Amino acid sequence: MFGKLICSLLLSLCFLSANAQQNAAKLRSAVGQLISKNLQNDKIKDSTAVYATALLVDVDIVKGKQLLKYEFNNYEFQRFFSGLSALEKLDYSSLLKKQKSGKFIYQIYITVTNSTYNPAVIDIETAEQAVVKLLAQATGERESLGSLMIKLDKKVYH
Protein backbone atom coordinates (compact mmCIF):
# COMPACT_ATOMS: atom_id res chain seq x y z
CA MET A 1 0.00 0.00 0.00
CA PHE A 2 2.74 2.45 0.99
CA GLY A 3 4.74 1.41 -2.10
CA LYS A 4 1.78 2.12 -4.37
CA LEU A 5 1.39 5.58 -2.82
CA ILE A 6 5.05 6.42 -3.41
CA CYS A 7 4.84 5.09 -6.96
CA SER A 8 1.74 7.18 -7.58
CA LEU A 9 3.44 10.31 -6.21
CA LEU A 10 6.52 9.73 -8.37
CA LEU A 11 4.40 9.31 -11.48
CA SER A 12 2.53 12.52 -10.65
CA LEU A 13 5.80 14.42 -10.23
CA CYS A 14 7.10 13.06 -13.54
CA PHE A 15 3.89 14.13 -15.26
CA LEU A 16 4.06 17.65 -13.76
CA SER A 17 7.71 18.01 -14.76
CA ALA A 18 7.02 16.84 -18.32
CA ASN A 19 4.02 19.17 -18.53
CA ALA A 20 6.10 22.15 -17.33
CA GLN A 21 8.81 21.38 -19.92
CA GLN A 22 6.17 21.11 -22.65
CA ASN A 23 4.66 24.46 -21.59
CA ALA A 24 8.13 26.07 -21.61
CA ALA A 25 8.77 24.73 -25.13
CA LYS A 26 5.40 26.10 -26.30
CA LEU A 27 6.25 29.50 -24.80
CA ARG A 28 9.65 29.60 -26.52
CA SER A 29 7.99 28.67 -29.82
CA ALA A 30 5.29 31.32 -29.35
CA VAL A 31 7.91 34.03 -28.72
CA GLY A 32 9.77 33.06 -31.90
CA GLN A 33 6.59 33.04 -33.97
CA LEU A 34 5.55 36.42 -32.58
CA ILE A 35 8.91 37.98 -33.42
CA SER A 36 8.95 36.49 -36.91
CA LYS A 37 5.36 37.53 -37.61
CA ASN A 38 5.94 41.13 -36.51
CA LEU A 39 9.12 41.80 -38.49
CA GLN A 40 8.53 44.70 -40.88
CA ASN A 41 10.60 43.70 -43.90
CA ASP A 42 10.12 47.06 -45.60
CA LYS A 43 11.89 48.85 -42.72
CA ILE A 44 15.10 46.91 -43.35
CA LYS A 45 17.42 48.61 -45.83
CA ASP A 46 17.85 46.97 -49.24
CA SER A 47 21.50 46.20 -48.72
CA THR A 48 23.21 42.85 -48.30
CA ALA A 49 23.83 42.67 -44.58
CA VAL A 50 23.76 40.67 -41.37
CA TYR A 51 22.02 42.08 -38.32
CA ALA A 52 22.17 40.66 -34.81
CA THR A 53 20.25 41.76 -31.76
CA ALA A 54 18.77 40.37 -28.60
CA LEU A 55 15.32 40.92 -27.18
CA LEU A 56 15.65 41.28 -23.41
CA VAL A 57 12.58 40.26 -21.43
CA ASP A 58 12.15 40.89 -17.69
CA VAL A 59 9.20 39.27 -15.94
CA ASP A 60 8.03 40.11 -12.41
CA ILE A 61 5.09 38.69 -10.51
CA VAL A 62 3.60 41.40 -8.30
CA LYS A 63 0.44 40.73 -6.29
CA GLY A 64 -0.31 37.73 -8.48
CA LYS A 65 -0.05 39.71 -11.73
CA GLN A 66 2.61 39.24 -14.39
CA LEU A 67 4.46 42.46 -15.28
CA LEU A 68 6.62 42.38 -18.38
CA LYS A 69 9.30 44.73 -19.62
CA TYR A 70 11.01 44.09 -22.93
CA GLU A 71 13.57 45.94 -25.02
CA PHE A 72 16.18 45.31 -27.67
CA ASN A 73 19.83 45.49 -26.65
CA ASN A 74 20.21 47.79 -29.67
CA TYR A 75 17.48 50.44 -29.77
CA GLU A 76 17.72 50.73 -33.58
CA PHE A 77 16.01 47.34 -33.93
CA GLN A 78 12.79 48.60 -32.36
CA ARG A 79 11.82 50.09 -35.74
CA PHE A 80 12.09 46.70 -37.48
CA PHE A 81 9.31 45.22 -35.35
CA SER A 82 5.70 46.08 -34.57
CA GLY A 83 3.11 44.38 -32.42
CA LEU A 84 5.52 43.04 -29.82
CA SER A 85 3.19 44.19 -27.05
CA ALA A 86 1.58 40.77 -27.58
CA LEU A 87 4.57 39.39 -25.62
CA GLU A 88 2.77 40.69 -22.52
CA LYS A 89 -0.12 38.29 -23.11
CA LEU A 90 2.08 35.18 -22.96
CA ASP A 91 2.27 33.23 -19.70
CA TYR A 92 5.88 32.97 -18.50
CA SER A 93 5.09 30.96 -15.36
CA SER A 94 6.48 27.73 -16.87
CA LEU A 95 9.90 29.40 -17.04
CA LEU A 96 9.74 31.15 -13.67
CA LYS A 97 9.46 27.85 -11.78
CA LYS A 98 7.67 29.41 -8.78
CA GLN A 99 10.08 32.35 -8.65
CA LYS A 100 8.73 35.90 -8.52
CA SER A 101 10.95 37.22 -11.30
CA GLY A 102 13.05 36.15 -14.25
CA LYS A 103 15.34 37.63 -16.88
CA PHE A 104 15.27 36.16 -20.36
CA ILE A 105 16.95 36.75 -23.70
CA TYR A 106 15.87 35.91 -27.25
CA GLN A 107 18.60 36.27 -29.86
CA ILE A 108 17.62 37.40 -33.35
CA TYR A 109 19.77 37.24 -36.46
CA ILE A 110 18.62 38.76 -39.75
CA THR A 111 20.43 38.23 -43.02
CA VAL A 112 19.53 40.24 -46.10
CA THR A 113 20.44 38.72 -49.46
CA ASN A 114 19.98 39.44 -53.16
CA SER A 115 19.99 43.16 -52.59
CA THR A 116 19.57 45.54 -55.48
CA TYR A 117 22.48 47.46 -53.98
CA ASN A 118 25.88 45.87 -53.24
CA PRO A 119 24.63 42.29 -53.80
CA ALA A 120 27.96 40.48 -53.39
CA VAL A 121 29.80 42.44 -50.72
CA ILE A 122 29.93 39.61 -48.17
CA ASP A 123 29.64 35.85 -48.16
CA ILE A 124 26.31 35.66 -46.35
CA GLU A 125 26.60 31.97 -45.32
CA THR A 126 29.96 32.55 -43.65
CA ALA A 127 28.69 35.69 -41.95
CA GLU A 128 25.62 33.85 -40.56
CA GLN A 129 27.79 31.15 -39.01
CA ALA A 130 30.17 33.72 -37.52
CA VAL A 131 27.39 35.79 -35.95
CA VAL A 132 25.70 32.76 -34.39
CA LYS A 133 28.98 31.50 -32.91
CA LEU A 134 29.94 34.95 -31.71
CA LEU A 135 26.71 35.64 -29.85
CA ALA A 136 25.71 32.11 -28.81
CA GLN A 137 27.25 32.47 -25.35
CA ALA A 138 26.36 36.12 -24.80
CA THR A 139 23.34 35.49 -22.59
CA GLY A 140 24.97 36.54 -19.30
CA GLU A 141 22.59 36.28 -16.35
CA ARG A 142 19.56 35.77 -18.56
CA GLU A 143 17.92 32.45 -19.39
CA SER A 144 17.74 31.87 -23.12
CA LEU A 145 14.32 31.81 -24.73
CA GLY A 146 16.00 30.63 -27.93
CA SER A 147 17.18 32.22 -31.12
CA LEU A 148 15.78 32.98 -34.53
CA MET A 149 17.55 33.25 -37.88
CA ILE A 150 15.51 35.28 -40.35
CA LYS A 151 16.59 35.33 -43.99
CA LEU A 152 15.23 38.17 -46.11
CA ASP A 153 15.51 37.93 -49.87
CA LYS A 154 15.30 41.44 -51.34
CA LYS A 155 15.41 40.25 -54.95
CA VAL A 156 12.40 41.27 -57.03
CA TYR A 157 10.99 38.25 -58.87
CA HIS A 158 8.76 38.68 -61.92
Is 42 contained in some domain? yes
Q: Which residue has the higher pLDDT, 139 or 13?
A: 139
Residues 34-92 pLDDT 10s: 988 988 878 777 666 777 888 889 999 999 899 999 998 877 788 888 888 999 999 98
Read off the pTM: 0.69
pLDDT for position 122: 59
Is 158 contained in some domain? no
Is 85 contained in some domain? yes
Question: The domain containing residue 105 runs over which residues?
Answer: 2-153
Neighbours of 92 (CB within 10 A): 21
Is 41 contained in some domain? yes
Is 110 contained in some domain? yes
pLDDT for position 119: 58
pLDDT for position 67: 94
The total of structural domains in the chain comes to 1
Is 113 contained in some domain? yes
Is 90 contained in some domain? yes
Residues 98-153 pLDDT 10s: 889 999 988 888 877 776 666 555 566 666 665 665 555 555 677 777 777 777 67
DSSP string, 104-145: EEEEEEEEEES-SBSTTSS-HHHHHHHHHHHHTTTTTTSEEE
53 by Cβ neighbours in 10 Å (0-12 / 13-18 / 19+) ranks as: buried
